[in-house]
Amino acid sequence: MGRGRVAGVAMAALGVATCLIVLAMKMREESTEGTDELLLKVDLESHDPYSAPANLYLWWGPSTNHRFTGSGEHIRHLLHMGIIEGGEWRDPMFLGNNGVATFRSQRFRKISETCCSTIVIPPMEWDFPVYNTHKMIGQRIRNFVANGNMLVLTGGILSIEFINSYFFYTIEPADGNYSPGPYRRLEDVPDCMRVAPEVLPQKGISVTAVKKDSLPSGTEVLWGTPRSSPVFMIKFCEAQSPDEGMPPVKVLPRDCPLAEKDGRPCSCGYIMYIGYNYQEQYPTRWDKVLRGAVEIMNPVWQEPAGGLKGNKKVFIPGTPPCLQKGEKKFDWPKSGAYSKDMKDLDDVSLKHVEPVHHESGNVAARGRDETAKDTLAMQKVSGKLTQEKQEINELQTQVQDLKHVHAQSQPRQQASRTQTLSQRSKDNEPSLSELRQKALKILREVKQKERADRPAAARKAASLAPQSESAETQTLVRVVTSLAKDVSKINHKVDKLADSEKKAVKVLPAQPSDKEEKEIKTMQKEMQKYKSKARSLEQELNYEQSVPMPEYTQAEEDHTTPLFAKGSRSCGTLCKLKQLVKKTRRNISKELEAAIH
């Protein structure tokens, strides 16, 4: 009986434990059901399949690595181009397939004469295309870009050498051919590039960055560090040659208005450089950079449904909050595309683009960002430039005055010495005339006294015997005679001095010495150099250029660094301008001190 009770209790306890375990498992399933469902939705989120733009060409020439692990194969797979035929990848948009020389082909000649296409060149691993840069093929490569097209180069040193050779630039790799990164995205990038990550890493030695200081005028830095950039875009322009019958010539974007005035309008395109070698066979952050680059010339590009992700708002030490541009939506204000509904398709190559305010308020005007903050900053810079120009002109006037004063110092001293001498002679003139009158008076008194004291006979005897005269009379005669001689000498000197005063004083200007002439010429050269630097900086700050295209036009970026350097260690345009003004003041003050002493 006791054993039966124990068995019953044990069975009851086992049943209760089983119920508790089942209840706990059900509660756990209910608690994780929402999380599992959410994760499943994220993994299976629907999205449109990627397809390359219709105006995209892929370089598939002999320099491309076509192997399974090659960089060219990775880029082909990334852009979803090509179909397998005859044991190789083929596509109508491949350039250089089947052993056809790409740049010498008739197809590339036709493409170079039209607008709005993009050619992607994978890293050049097998060879380097070598042509005479001044003859037909080299000119055709430049014409392709200048006709409103885009050339996207990937890789490293060979891509930089290709740009320098065929487009006549002097871009230099970063010091030691290595930049550790990370590379942060700038705020004013094209909208289609905002799909890429905000920060790009350096993967071993796969990324080749270039020096920012070596980038040419009209460059837009997209990702970079304070001193280097692995992703940038160069605006390349050409205009008709002034020599009739000659091929087009390269023109800097900032010189396009002058060429337009001469009747030679510019035509511009872009060169994109992505410094990643794409040898990694796994998805990386750099994949979205390439996909965004090929969409710049896509006429039917649309913003993703989820919107574009802006830069995170990060507090930068040393930068005031009003100068931080995080979480602000830009529509590529410095070198982006004007959409068709924002700007007419007439000749807008050299027109200033005004901001267009849409009803939705979400799309900003393409071109420069005309917000109040940027306008105020430009006004301040322009005012400072005007003020510094006035100071430089005043200092130049002081230098010229100092030069004239030094040249006239000696003639003025001679003139003052002559005036003093003539004044002294005038002061002495009355005393000499009085002395003359006194001498004549004494002579008359002596003669009258002799006539009164002596009769005529005595005078005759005196003439025969002069030795009988008294000693007093002889002494008086000698004194009067010597006095008369002195008076005559003084009269002669006074007359001579008076004649010299009446003559016109001819003062020859003192010629500066050779050393002084060299110093003056050096100062003038320095002044011209500083004025030309200030003038060029003003042109770069105030210049704006657009490019005509069928669907959209490109605005020019006038400097490779931001205006206020974005709070980084590098010095922006305004900072460089301040340094130049300080240096100018110091040099001019030194020259003035040297000239005075």
Residue 511 has pLDDT above 60, yes or no: yes
Of all residues in the chain, the percent with pLDDT exceeding 90 is: 20
Quickly count: other Cβ atoms within 10 Å of residue 108's Cβ.
Answer: 21
Residue 241 has pLDDT above 70, yes or no: yes
Domain boundaries, the chain: 56-323, 372-389+512-543+561-596
Q: Which residue has the tokens 């180069």?
A: 153
pTM reported for the whole predicted model: 0.48
Distance CA 277, CA 272 (A): 14
For residue 379, give both structure tokens.
Answer: 């006004």
User: Could you tell me if 507 and 415 are in contact, meaning their C-beta atoms sit under 8 angstroms apart?
Assistant: yes
Residue 483 has pLDDT above 50, yes or no: yes
Distance CA 559, CA 540 (A): 7
For residue 308, give both structure tokens.
Answer: 């574009």
Q: Which of 287, 296, 233, 300 is nearest to 79 (CA)?
A: 287
Give how far the C-alpha of residue 450 lies from the chain's centroid of Cα atoms, to the nearest Å: 105
Give how far the C-alpha of residue 353 lies from the chain's centroid of Cα atoms, to the nearest Å: 22
**pLDDT score of 269:** 93
> What is the per-residue pLDDT across 440-455, written as a single tens digit (0 to 9) for each?
677 677 677 667 766 5
Distance CA 497, CA 500 (A): 5
User: Could you tell me if 376 and 385 are in contact, meaning their C-beta atoms sit under 8 angstroms apart?
Assistant: no
**pLDDT score of 167:** 95
Helices (H), ranges, 70-125: 71-78, 106-112
**DSSP letter at 7?**
H
Please report the DSSP string for 440-509 in residue order. HHHHHHHHHHHHHHS-HHHHHHHHH-GGGS-HHHHHHHHHHHHHHHHHHHHHHHHHHHHHHHHS----PP
Q: Which of 193, 150, 184 is nearest to 330 (CA)?
A: 193
Distance CA 288, CA 274 (A): 11
Confidence of residue 42 (pLDDT cuts 50, 70, 90): very low
Residue 407 has pLDDT above 60, yes or no: no
**pLDDT score of 72:** 87
Distance CA 176, CA 420 (A): 76
Give the alpha-carbon dihedral of 339, 340, 342, 345, to 10 degrees. 120
Residue 325 has pLDDT above 60, yes or no: no
Sign of CA dihedral 111, 116, 120, 124: positive
**pLDDT score of 566:** 47
**pLDDT score of 359:** 43
**pLDDT score of 529:** 80
Residue 353 has pLDDT above 50, yes or no: no
Lowest mean pLDDT among 144-158, 425-439, 530-544: 425-439
Architecture category of domain 56-323 in CATH: 3-Layer(aba) Sandwich (3.40)
> What is the per-residue pLDDT across 118-147, written as a single tens digit (0 to 9) for each?
999 999 888 888 899 999 999 999 999 999
For residue 88, give both structure tokens.
Answer: 């190789």
Q: Which residue has the tokens 């598939």?
A: 60
How many C-alpha atoms does 100 have within 13 Å on its Cβ side? 15
Amino acid at 136: M
* 194 against 501, higher pLDDT: 194
Confidence of residue 474 (pLDDT cuts 50, 70, 90): low
Q: Which residue has the tokens 């007359």?
A: 495
> What is the per-residue pLDDT across 174-217, written as a single tens digit (0 to 9) for each?
988 899 889 999 988 888 888 899 999 998 899 999 999 999 99
**pLDDT score of 85:** 78
Average pLDDT of the segment spanning 108-119: 90
Distance CA 131, CA 199 (A): 37
Residue 36 has pLDDT above 90, yes or no: no
Please report the DSSP string for 344-389 in residue order. -SSS-SSPPPPP---SSS-SPPSSS---HHHHHHHHHHHHHHHHHH
Distance CA 504, CA 406 (A): 24
> What is the per-residue pLDDT across 522-562, written as a single tens digit (0 to 9) for each?
888 888 887 877 777 766 665 544 334 444 444 444 444 44
At a CB cut-off of 8 Å and minimum separation 6, what does 203 contact?
276, 280, 284
> What is the per-residue pLDDT across 69-108, written as a single tens digit (0 to 9) for each?
788 889 998 998 888 877 778 888 888 765 556 788 888 8
Sign of CA dihedral 294, 298, 302, 305: negative
Distance CA 270, CA 256 (A): 15
Task: Collect contacts of 164-171 with beta carbons under 8 A, ≥24 apart.
Answer: 165/133, 166/133, 166/138, 166/141, 166/142, 167/142, 167/234, 167/236, 167/250, 167/271, 168/133, 168/250, 169/216, 169/234, 170/214, 170/216, 171/210, 171/211, 171/214, 171/215, 171/216
